[in-house]
Amino acid sequence: MQTLSEIRELLDERGLKPLRRFGQNFLHDQNQLRKLVDAADISPGDLVLEVGPGTGTLTEALLEREARVIAAEIDEGLADLVRDRFGERIILIRGDCLASGRRLAKPIEDALGDSSWSLIANLPYQAASPLMIELLLNHPRCKGQHVTIQREVADRLVAAPGDRQRGPLGILASTFGEVERIGDIPGSCFWPAPKVTSSMVSIRPGPSRPEIDGNDFARFISMLFAQRRKQLGRIFGRDTELPFGIDPMWRAEVLSDRQLIELFHCVGDTLDA
């Protein structure tokens, strides 16, 4: 895998530099990269989507494990670099990983086809949450997400009922998957070093997917938490009969995933925009 000096040299040779607008912070600590790849537990021939390959440090590690890699890169200069370094060893998709409506871009969907696959990536911060939600809700063939994200996003992913960090992202992740926090990564492991600490997390499909429309449930949760400081009785009306065991004086953040699903079945249509 590339060292920091090699990453710098690759960029300097092409007159490139990290761009803040794309959230480019290159993970160069090889121990952290190995930890991320190990967490994904990939086997030779497994299909992997990597978003934001940068100079290809993680890409190299994936190819060493004999994965089949689809790499999506929005930065034209870096896309050229990745193409020249790896050629036909990978499938390169140029452009944003998300299309309008925050859906997975069609070129990526076409490249993935009908195969099962995993996301393994040092995610640009601004793309992390919408991409993770999209894969959870609409891509059952994604058998796991193994990513680096901001620590505060990881905190939201693992927040339990009653935790003030609890919100739509964590609820959707625990409703439709199982979240594991692999560890934290100090800013010094990236170049340029971000001002925040990062975390590695894995999200795998849960043993049983609830029989609800994921996108409708996501809209319900988002609208509910837009009023998170209000008691449930104020949101739905004091005369509304809530599911058994749910107190109208409670706020949404104290409800378990099961209770939120019951609430969605009971009163979800009352929050339609």
**Predicted confidence (pLDDT) at residue 256 exceeds the cutoff of 70:** yes
Whether the Cβ atoms of residue 172 and residue 137 lie closer than 8 Å to each other: yes
Beta strands 47-51 and 117-122, pairing class? parallel
CATH code reported for the domain at 214-271: 1.10.8.100
CATH ID of 4-205, from 3.40.50.10680, 3.40.50.150, 3.40.50.800, 1.20.1250.20: 3.40.50.150
Q: Which residues pair with 204 in a beta bridge?
A: 178
The tokens describing 167, both together, are: 């919100």
Average pLDDT over residues 23-27: 94
Spatial distance between the Cα atoms of 112 and 140, rounded to a whole number of angstroms = 12
**Predicted confidence (pLDDT) at residue 1 exceeds the cutoff of 90:** no
Spatial distance between the Cα atoms of 193 and 26, rounded to a whole number of angstroms = 8
Which of these, 52, 4, 37, 54, lies nearest to 191 by C-alpha position? 4
| Same fold flag, 4-205 and 214-271 | no
**Predicted confidence (pLDDT) at residue 4 exceeds the cutoff of 50:** yes
What predicted TM-score, i.e. pTM, was given to this entire model?
0.94
Q: Which residues pair with 83 in a beta bridge?
A: none
Q: Which pLDDT tens digit goes with each residue over 10-23?
A: 999 999 999 989 98
Q: Which pLDDT tens digit goes with each residue over 144-192?
A: 999 999 999 999 999 999 999 999 999 999 999 999 999 999 999 999 9
Give me the residue spans of the domains in the chain.
4-205, 214-271
pLDDT band at 271; cut points 50, 70, 90: low
Residue 242 is classified by DSSP as P
With vertex at residue 257, the alpha carbon angle to CA 234 and CA 161, rounded to the nearest 5 degrees, is 75
Give me the pLDDT at residue 205, please: 92
Residue with tokens 């319900």: 220
Give me the pLDDT at residue 142, please: 97
The tokens describing 237, both together, are: 């009306």
Who contacts 145 (Cβ-Cβ below 8 Å, separation ≥6)?
118, 119, 132, 135, 136, 201, 202, 203, 204
**Predicted confidence (pLDDT) at residue 38 exceeds the cutoff of 50:** yes
Look at the chain and count its residues.
Answer: 273
